[in-house]
């Protein structure tokens, strides 16, 4: 237990009575006494506060930063505007993932990559290795940076009184710099829940203070601290990928149904040859959303998708859905079984259980 890494908010979570778990080597709250289902509903209807300080921040700076990242990643870094953010990945030659991440353009010569907690060291090494031939400097700022995420319809009301910039001017998937009660922070209108929200980036040693200020400001809006358990059910309903599940070093961007971040027309990038081939020939397997037919059947991560008694695919993530009210999940299936409406079988403890391929996302917030 003493080997687990801790965010600056570790003592705060424990004081709140959180149930702590090992998440990718970090000692993190899976839920508070409120419970996963309540926390999930709070995020969808009011506002929740997540500690995401374990995530990584990697800065790429230099005259060739834009060209380097445009070659290193599949999405279009040239058309990304200053203060804009896009979802993308670090891909390998095989078109599969080292990690997924959010790319923030500070200028044509400066970018911030926000990466998964479980992959920080791997990502940093990967970027550094590939940066060797380019005129850029890559720095890992993860340990020095704290991050909390306000997620839910009331997020703006909670954060605005503490900020000196007009948050309504920050559109979804854009960021800005401003002062949080006099302290410089970066505010990004992003999140992993499918709700409106703001991610606040601050110096690591100020994270506890930021958290406490947000908790205080949040009282009037029934803000609650929310853990990794509901974070998973929220992102699953919104059909957002989790590294190690929907994407990994064997699943390509096209197989993971992430063609929208693959901009083949921009020119060559790391992995483009494989992905062009998959686009031309069609993928053999595809990530789909499914819904279980019976309330008693709850699929779980890793369960096999079976056809005539043989395993033909697997569940990448699955759970009972608090907002949708049924048991759902994502699965990698043969492309022949990927059409909406196809009936598939998922084996649950030795029994083949019926499910149906359904459109995703399962949940979309009202505009």
Q: Is 184 a binder of another protein (CB under 8 A)? A: no
Place of tokens 């009331």: 154
Which one of residues 133, 219, 296, 351 is an interface residue with another protein (CB under 8 A)? 296
For another protein, which stretch binds (CB under 8 A), given 136-144, 256-264, 314-322, 335-343? Answer: 314-322
Out of 4, 5, 16, 19, which residue is the one contacting another protein (CB under 8 A)?
19
Q: Which stretch binds another protein (CB under 8 A): 53-61, 154-162, 200-208, 295-303?
A: 295-303
Of positions 295, 311, 343, 365, contacts another protein by CB under 8 A: 295
Cβ atoms < 10 Å from Cβ of 93: 10
- When asked if residue 353 is in the footprint of another protein (CB under 8 A), the reply is no
Q: What is the footprint of another protein within residues 50-69 (CB under 8 A)?
A: none
Q: Is 41 in the site for another protein (CB under 8 A)?
A: no
351 binds another protein (CB under 8 A): no
Between 38 and 76, CB nearer to another protein: 38
β pairing state of 224-225 and 48-51: parallel
Of 35-43, 195-203, 275-283, 332-340, the window that binds another protein (rule: CB under 8 A) is 35-43
Place of tokens 């829940």: 193
* Residue 118, both tokens: 């479980």
Alpha carbon distance 196, 173 (integer Å):
10
The residues, ordered by sequence, that sit 6+ positions from 354 with a Cβ below 8 Å of its Cβ are 292, 293, 294, 297, 343, 344, 345
Per rule CB under 8 A, is residue 293 in the interface with another protein?
Answer: no
In the bound complex, what is the minimum distance in angstroms from residue 224's beta carbon to another protein? 15
Spell out, one character per residue from 209 to 238, where the chain touches another protein: x when CB under 8 A holds, - when not: --------------------x---x-----
Q: Which helix (H) or strand (E) holds 356?
A: strand 351-358
Q: What is the DSSP letter of 4?
A: S
Helix (H, G, I), strand (E, B) or coil at 304: strand
CA Rg value for the chain: 21
* Measured distance CA(277)–CA(298) in Å, rounded: 36
Which residues fall within 8 angstroms of residue 186, CB to CB, at 6 or more apart? 104, 112, 175, 176, 177, 200, 201
| Residues contributing to the site for another protein (CB under 8 A) | 19, 30-31, 35-38, 229, 233, 295-296, 298, 300, 319-320, 322, 349
């Amino acid at each position: 237990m003493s080997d687990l890494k801790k965010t600056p908010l570790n003592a705060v979570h424990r004081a709140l009575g959180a149930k702590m778990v090992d998440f990718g080597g970090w000692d993190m709250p899976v839920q508070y006494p409120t419970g996963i289902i309540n926390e999930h509903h709070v995020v969808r209807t009011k506002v929740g506060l997540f500690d995401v300080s374990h995530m990584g921040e990697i800065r790429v700076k230099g005259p060739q930063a834009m060209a380097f990242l445009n070659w290193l990643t599949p999405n279009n870094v040239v058309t990304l505007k200053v203060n804009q953010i896009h979802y993308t990945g670090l891909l390998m030659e095989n078109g599969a993932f080292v990690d997924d991440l959010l790319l923030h353009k500070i200028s044509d010569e400066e970018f911030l990559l926000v990466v998964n907690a479980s992959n920080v060291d791997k990502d940093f090494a990967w970027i550094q290795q590939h940066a060797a031939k380019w005129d850029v400097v890559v720095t890992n700022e993860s340990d020095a940076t704290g991050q909390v995420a306000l997620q839910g319809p009331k997020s703006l009301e909670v954060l605005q009184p503490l900020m000196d910039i007009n948050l309504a001017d920050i559109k979804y998937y854009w960021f800005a710099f401003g002062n949080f009660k006099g302290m410089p922070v970066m505010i990004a209108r992003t999140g992993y829940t499918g709700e409106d929200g703001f991610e606040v980036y601050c110096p690591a040693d100020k994270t506890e203070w930021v958290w406490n200020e947000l908790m205080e400001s949040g009282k009037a809006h029934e803000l609650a601290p929310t853990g990794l358990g509901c974070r998973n059910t929220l992102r699953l309903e919104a059909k957002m990928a989790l590294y190690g599940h929907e994407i990994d070093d064997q699943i390509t961007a096209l197989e993971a149904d992430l063609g929208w971040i693959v901009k083949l027309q921009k020119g060559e990038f790391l992995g483009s040859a494989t992905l062009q081939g998959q686009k031309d020939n069609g993928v053999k397997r595809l990530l789909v959303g499914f819904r279980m037919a019976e309330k008693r059947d709850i699929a779980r991560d890793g369960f096999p998708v079976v056809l005539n008694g043989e395993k033909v695919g697997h569940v990448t993530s699955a759970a009972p859905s608090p907002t949708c009210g049924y048991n759902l999940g994502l699965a990698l299936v043969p492309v022949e079984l990927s059409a909406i409406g196809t009936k598939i079988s998922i084996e649950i403890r030795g029994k083949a259980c019926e499910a149906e391929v359904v459109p995703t996302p399962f949940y979309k917030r009202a505009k």
